[in-house]
């Protein structure tokens, strides 16, 4: 009998998948299909509140934390931890069996104040209290790098996210190695290149500016940067495991199959479709991107150049890089929505 798609991927290649922002049911289903971890971003709480089946459950927890904490920011952070706790519990047996090699569940907290490394550090240390398999998801910006340098010494597992540019990943790895050498600590490190969001951003730029570029060339942009990063990491012996994040199409998974990569994907729209379509398992990660494709992208898209070149961005530019701002804006919108819900509950309870 033919195995399901992800079972074949896992048995035939080093490629793994993490489930992104799942419901409790989706997390359980993902584990049965071989998911080796889970990631939750700052949009998670809003998505659960608005979810058709999880909304009532999430709403009851939101009511609890609103009563427990008089501070809205604190209540939002506690709410996220409460929602993630049962997901972490589902992955704990995997974490235990693998002696901490798999089964991580990452949390990325308050996106509004993530320009302050002290806030990032404080939230990361609080999030780690949820469960031993919690991995702290931190933006790869100037403030995030400062926080991660400190957290290495605290032996905190980390998922470095919001990576769109080559230089972000290089500085991350060098920061980690420097801190590790100084402290003697080597916590688990995941390096998340947000391939699909990068493609969304560049596509919007092309449409707004009416840039004449082949759709076939544009389709390869995010993957071109990801493949270059992968090759650089392997050649230089950088630490960590690559994550291909922000999937926006099935190709953001199928095109990295064959690499030693964890791909974060949603259950709805990606996992379910790949199970249904059941494509052949083919190594594609190492397919070269033709030079003429790179040349056209470099010529016509400034923000592709800035992401693709090793010196395309300075560390002070990371936070304001277009795709980083786009990604973060969606997080801030969701986080503010939850803060509004908390405030509404406070007002109604005193009316």
CATH number at residue 293: 3.20.20.70
Burial of 326 (0-12, 13-18, 19+ CB in 10 A): middle
pLDDT at residue 292, rounded to an integer: 97
pLDDT at residue 44, rounded to an integer: 97
How many domains does one find in the chain? 1
Interacting residues of 259 by C-beta distance below 8 A, sequence separation 6+: 14, 15, 230, 242, 285, 286
Within 13 Å, how many C-alpha atoms sit on residue 291's CB side? 0
Euclidean distance between the first and the last CA atom of the chain, given in angstroms as a whole number: 62
Q: Is 4 left (phi over 0), alpha (psi -120 to 50) or beta?
A: beta
- Domain range for residue 39? 5-350
The residue ranges of the chain whose pLDDT is under 50 are none
- The single-letter DSSP state of residue 13 is S
What predicted TM-score, i.e. pTM, was given to this entire model? 0.95
**Distance between CA atoms of 74 and 107, rounded to whole angstroms?**
15
**Distance between CA atoms of 136 and 107, rounded to whole angstroms?**
5
């Amino acid at each position: 009998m033919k195995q399901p798609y992800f079972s074949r991927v896992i048995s035939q290649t080093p490629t793994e998948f993490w489930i992104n922002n799942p419901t409790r049911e989706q997390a359980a289903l993902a584990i049965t299909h071989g998911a080796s971890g889970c990631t939750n971003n700052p949009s998670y709480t809003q998505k659960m509140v608005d979810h058709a089946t999880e909304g009532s459950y999430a709403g009851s927890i939101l009511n609890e934390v609103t009563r427990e904490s008089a501070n809205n920011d604190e209540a939002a952070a506690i709410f996220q931890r409460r929602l993630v706790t049962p997901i972490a519990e589902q992955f704990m047996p995997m974490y235990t069996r693998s002696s901490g090699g798999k089964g991580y569940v990452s949390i990325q907290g308050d996106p509004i104040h993530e320009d302050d490394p002290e806030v990032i550090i404080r939230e990361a240390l609080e999030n780690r209290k949820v469960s031993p398999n919690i991995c702290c998801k931190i933006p790869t910006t100037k403030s995030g790098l400062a926080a991660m340098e400190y957290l290495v010494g605290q032996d905190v597992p980390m998922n470095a996210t919001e990576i769109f540019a080559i230089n972000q990943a290089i500085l991350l790895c060098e920061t980690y190695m420097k801190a590790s050498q100084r402290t003697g600590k080597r916590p688990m490190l995941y390096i998340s290149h947000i391939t699909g969001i990068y493609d969304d951003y560049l596509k919007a730029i092309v449409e707004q500016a009416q840039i004449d570029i082949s759709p076939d060339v544009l389709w390869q942009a995010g993957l071109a940067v990801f493949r270059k990063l992968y090759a650089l990491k392997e050649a230089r012996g950088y630490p960590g495991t690559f994550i291909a994040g922000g999937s926006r199409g099935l190709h953001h998974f199928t095109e990295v199959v064959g690499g030693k990569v964890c791909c974060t994907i949603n259950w709805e729209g990606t996992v379910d479709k790949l199970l249904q379509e059941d494509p052949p398992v083919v190594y594609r990660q190492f397919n070269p991107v033709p030079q003429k494709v790179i040349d056209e992208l470099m010529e016509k898209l400034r923000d592709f150049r800035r992401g693709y070149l090793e010196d395309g961005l300075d560390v002070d530019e990371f936070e304001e890089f277009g795709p980083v701002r786009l990604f973060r804006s969606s997080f801030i919108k969701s986080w503010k929505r939850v803060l509004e819900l908390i405030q509404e509950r406070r007002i109604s309870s005193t009316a």
